[in-house]
Structure 1
């Protein structure tokens, strides 16, 4: 399979490749077919093995390897009837456009494509965008539930209490707890920290403070082992 290098740290010997299938693969130095210099944007060929790439060979290195007489080898001609490989396989290559960095877009992706995404990085704007619209959704759920309880007379009439409101509140929190955890983990990755520190955000007394601190720290400059700098970040 062909792909594009998203990140490679030669000192620590790890990196990421965006495959032609739209998936992202991790790799280490031992997954290279031979010692070679890789940079972001380089095209490679590799063998997918789950979420890991192995047998990696730079297409540039293969095309410029010496042939007999010392001249560069000519690139292999495509097979008859085969489709040409796309020039780029970046994270947004499947739709051909860059993903929006708006607050609502971050929130919507948090509930859809990033619902249980515990890999990659999340910038501060993504965290606060999700927080903003999550809070608005919570207020709407409570308002709808309370209105339903008032119309039934459960609140003022001495009924069983605001059952609908508590039911909608619990359902909303239950449906959004996984995206919250995934977002906190990605925010920690963006700071260069392990995602296991997300446990601090759910401890009594200190959880709120820990979450606020993690949400306010700026993005770590440069690529780290969890991926490149998120789109839209100015360093």
Structure 2
């Protein structure tokens, strides 16, 4: 399969490749066909094995021997303009990068990142999801309460607002996995293990732990969970 190098740590000998199928594969130094210096954006061929890439080798520029690693990663075209890098995955179809807007983060959190426990999530992504999740919760409660009132379920202190409680429970149930995945990715963005997400669900300290993790700035530079998220400036 063809892919593009997303990140490679030469010292620790591990990295990630975005495959032409849109999935991300991890690889280590021993998965390289030969010892080479990889740069981000290099086009490679590899053999997928689950979430692991094996037998990785260069297709174009961007991958070289250590002595050649200082060479330019792109060759100018006849008109003098540099060659455009290849793109793979979800952005390959339209040639654009993913939006970093608050709504876009929320939408991807409920679709492509629904159970994505790998990669990193910046502070803006966390707060964007939090904002629109809260709006959705208010809407669900409002709709449920309106239905209960129209049926007379809560008039005169009688029956419980069953529809409201039902919509509330369904909404929380459908969004709990995206929340956990988002917290794990936020921890990765800080250079921490995702297992610390357990602290966010403990009584008494859960809310405080979540707030602290949400406010800490992005860790500078790439880490073993991936490169710095798009849009982050230091």
1:9, distance to aligned residue in structure 2 (A): 0.4
Superimposed CA distance per residue, residues 128-178 of structure 1 (whole angstroms, 9 cap, x where no aligned partner): 000000000101111111111111222123432111111111011001000
- Shift of the 90–219 alpha-carbon distance from structure 1 to 2, 3 Å rule, reads farther
Structure 1 range deviating more: 12-21 or 198-207:
12-21
Superimposed CA distance per residue, residues 85-123 of structure 1 (whole angstroms, 9 cap, x where no aligned partner): x83336622331111111011101101111111111110
- Shift of the 152–49 alpha-carbon distance from structure 1 to 2, 3 Å rule, reads same
Superimposed CA distance per residue, residues 14-69 of structure 1 (whole angstroms, 9 cap, x where no aligned partner): 100111222211000110111111111112121111111101112358x989xxxx
1:69 maps to what in 2? none
1:229, distance to aligned residue in structure 2 (A): 0.7
**Where does 1:69-218 land on structure 2 (aligned, <5 Å)?**
87-89=86-88, 92-218=91-217
Instruction: Supply the distance in 2 between the matched residues of 1:50 and 1:2 (Cα, whole angstroms).
Output: 15
Task: Tell whether 2:10 aligns with 1:13.
Answer: no
Normalised to the residue count of structure 2, the TM-score between the two structures is: 0.87
**Where does 1:52-63 land on structure 2 (aligned, <5 Å)?**
52-60=52-60
2:76 maps to what in 1? none
- Runs in 1 of length 4+ with deviation above 4 angstroms? none
1:38 maps to what in 2? 38
Unaligned runs of 5+ in 1: 66-85
1:231 maps to what in 2? 230
Q: SS state of the match for residue 55, structure 2?
A: strand
Instruction: Supply the distance in 1 between the matched residues of 2:232 and 2:14 (Cα, whole angstroms).
Output: 23
Q: SS state of the match for residue 91, structure 2?
A: coil
1:81 maps to what in 2? none
Q: Residues 18 and 89 of structure 1 are in contact (CA less than 8 Å); yes or no, is this contact kept in structure 2?
A: yes
Q: SS state of the match for residue 104, structure 1?
A: helix
Instruction: Supply the distance in 1 between the matched residues of 2:59 and 2:218 (Cα, whole angstroms).
Output: 33
Instruction: Supply the distance in 2 between the matched residues of 1:103 and 1:183 (Cα, whole angstroms).
Output: 14
- Shift of the 20–13 alpha-carbon distance from structure 1 to 2, 3 Å rule, reads same
- Shift of the 148–34 alpha-carbon distance from structure 1 to 2, 3 Å rule, reads same
Please identify the structure whose Cα radius of gyration is greater. 1
Count of residue pairs brought into register by the alignment: 215
Normalised to the residue count of structure 1, the TM-score between the two structures is: 0.86
2:78 maps to what in 1? none
Q: Residues 21 and 89 of structure 2 are in contact (CA less than 8 Å); yes or no, is this contact kept in structure 1?
A: no
Q: SS state of the match for residue 210, structure 1?
A: helix
